[in-house]
Structure 1
Amino acid sequence: MGKAHGFTGSALNRLQALYRATGIRQRYSVISDYQQADSRKWNFYPNSEQLEPFPTTSHRADLYRKNAARLSVRATQEALQQTHLVASDFTHLITVSCTGMYAPGLDIDLVHELGLNTSIQRSCINFMGCYAAFTAIKLGDQICKANENAKVLIVATELCTIHFQKSGDDDNLLANAIFGDGSAALVMSSQRADSLQPTVLSPEAFLNDIYPEGADEMAWGIGNFGFEMKLSAYVPTLIEKGIGHLVTRLLASTSNQRIDHYALHPGGKKILEVIEKALGIEKHADWAGRKVLAEYGNMSSPTILFVLKMLWESLDSNHKDHRVLALAFGPGLTMESMLLRLV
């Protein structure tokens, strides 16, 4: 990354300090390492001074199209292994992504590659950022409550690393240090028998709000050389100011205000720290978010699903009726909250 930015001396030292401070040990990318890539196979960011010619948005969109469906299919196949369902059982498909778009899109590619019914009802949630999986779950919950025979497949896939920006301003340095690629799939049904698992998570309550004073602190736009991230260091402060009130309002909407487990979107190490402080919880209560951050970084929309899966796999029937508080954040500044119950 130092070479990619053209950093040497004190600038390189500061970059190394930033990476050490993230709490991230590794991340994943559809692109091979810039310096180790076989240029005959991987020639995305040229192994040249200043990475010139720098890939255009069109070039990056092609890479997204080639890889997004492949990862989405793999995630879906792994999710299906935990159910009694086959691809043709699904009545609804919801795709989530903010790092690429094309038409016919990812949803139609998945219909063909997974063997879904061509008449499946499709919805696409695009460009909402890190909290978008909450929007998808809320939509899936509404569908299942309206139709007891509904089988909903949600797929969230992001290729954040294809939008690397080489300029050395603070926003780009921070984004390049924390974001990675990932895909997650989720099955929703009102029929408990559809799952092979002894326990499942049931949505109980949702609440979101917008804090407009943070609108300029987190943004995601389309530039000539990829999508460009605006990510201010002030974001954790804004989240800390609003998250306690949001959670209080969420709990007030339910008859049971107990929280047993936490699934926090690891937007960054500082964000996790301020949420823990605002909610009065210790680091170990947020172990799943911290572990996902360390092992995967911030993958935008799939990240909270990684956290929920890791937490869910640690629970069993002895935790019946335990409640999970999930939180995520994104452009707006949008804050999302959700309560789930283990059944």
Structure 2
Amino acid sequence: MTHLVTVSCTGARSPGIDHGLIERLGLSPDVSRTHVGFMGCHAGLNGLAVASAFVRADPDAVVMLVCVELCSLHYQVDDPRWDQQVANAIFADGAACALIGSSADAPRVTGALSRVFPDTASRMGWEIGQHGFRMTLSPRVPGLIRRHLGSWLEQWLAPRGLTPVDIDRWVVHPGGRDILEGVRRGLELDPACLSESERVLERHGNMSSATIL
């Protein structure tokens, strides 16, 4: 194991989870460590992009990607706000791991991209309150996904000679029932395309960055 990439947006400690993993798993004390912190639910994909970049730079690299989220640390049971109660209901603790290398037999990451849409920073995030982290979750998020996802994805796929209808299998972050519905309607997908994401949501809830793995 040459590299260790850790991902989390729940809780904060130093030394971080990378230090604990080195000791518990018996990894080399010289393993290269990178942490992707406080980037929310999409950070699992960011971690995968970082790990893939290490492998492209050094084909002999073997990268362990670990996402750990303890969403229950941020439960606010006394906060009556709608968005906080929704967060309490759908978010869950979870962890996931992936090993990334240059094996010819393994799936490859051929590209990664993210888009920040104007005036959306306040729609979802964490705020530090008197009793820990408080969730900001706007009910407008599914609508934003529905309106913007299709055109953005078409622009990203076009240079690769692809359109959304060419995608055989979809792995969509199951952020919630309405999030998945926003994706389905925004991309005009058959409901069956999101069955695996719906199954993960039903069984495990939204585990933030770990969910996509």
Q: Deviations over 1:66-91 (max 9, x none)?
A: xxxxxxxxxxxxxxxxxxxxxxxx00
Q: Deviations over 1:276-313 (max 9, x none)?
A: 111111111111111001111111000111xxxxxxxx
Match of 1:214 among 120, 126, 138: 120
Q: Is the 8 A contact 2:7 2:67 kept in 1?
A: yes
Name structure 2 gaps, 5 residues minimum.
none
Calculate percent identity across the aligned residue pairs: 38
Give the equivalent residue in structure 1 for 2:167: 259
Match of 2:68 among 157, 175, 184: 157
SS at match of 1:137: helix
| 1:102 has 2:8 as partner | no
Give the equivalent residue in structure 2 for 1:326: none
Match of 1:289 among 173, 188, 197: 197
Name structure 1 gaps, 5 residues minimum.
1-89, 193-198, 306-343
Q: Distance in 2 between matches of 1:127 and 1:267?
A: 16
SS at match of 2:43: helix
Q: Is the 8 A contact 1:206 1:250 kept in 2?
A: no
Q: Distance in 2 between matches of 1:200 and 1:290?
A: 25
Q: Is the 8 A contact 2:11 2:73 kept in 1?
A: no
Q: TM-score, normalised by structure 1?
A: 0.59
Q: Is the 8 A contact 2:67 2:95 kept in 1?
A: yes
Give the equivalent residue in structure 1 for 2:109: 203
Q: TM-score, normalised by structure 2?
A: 0.95
Q: Is the 8 A contact 1:207 1:246 kept in 2?
A: no
Q: Distance in 1 between matches of 2:126 and 2:189?
A: 31
Give the equivalent residue in structure 1 for 2:176: 268
Give the equivalent residue in structure 1 for 2:90: 178
* Number of positions where the alignment pairs a residue of Structure 1 with one of Structure 2: 210
Q: Which runs of 4+ in 1 moved over 2 A?
A: 221-224, 255-258
Q: Is the 8 A contact 2:92 2:207 kept in 1?
A: yes
Alpha-carbon distance, 1:164 to partner: 0.8
Alpha-carbon distance, 1:129 to partner: 0.5
Q: Is the 8 A contact 2:184 2:191 kept in 1?
A: yes
Give the equivalent residue in structure 2 for 1:231: 137
Q: Distance in 1 between matches of 2:63 and 2:148?
A: 32
SS at match of 1:142: helix
SS at match of 2:108: strand
Give the equivalent residue in structure 2 for 1:338: none
Q: Deviations over 1:115-137 (max 9, x none)?
A: 11101100011110100011111
Q: Is the 8 A contact 2:127 2:133 kept in 1?
A: yes
Q: Is the 8 A contact 1:265 1:289 kept in 2?
A: yes
Over alpha carbons, which structure has the higher Rg?
1
Give the equivalent residue in structure 2 for 1:136: 47
Alpha-carbon distance, 1:244 to partner: 0.6
1:1-343 to structure 2, matched below 5 A, reads 90-165=1-76, 166-192=78-104, 200-257=106-163, 258-305=166-213
Alpha-carbon distance, 1:207 to partner: 1.7
Q: Distance in 1 between matches of 2:112 and 2:152?
A: 10
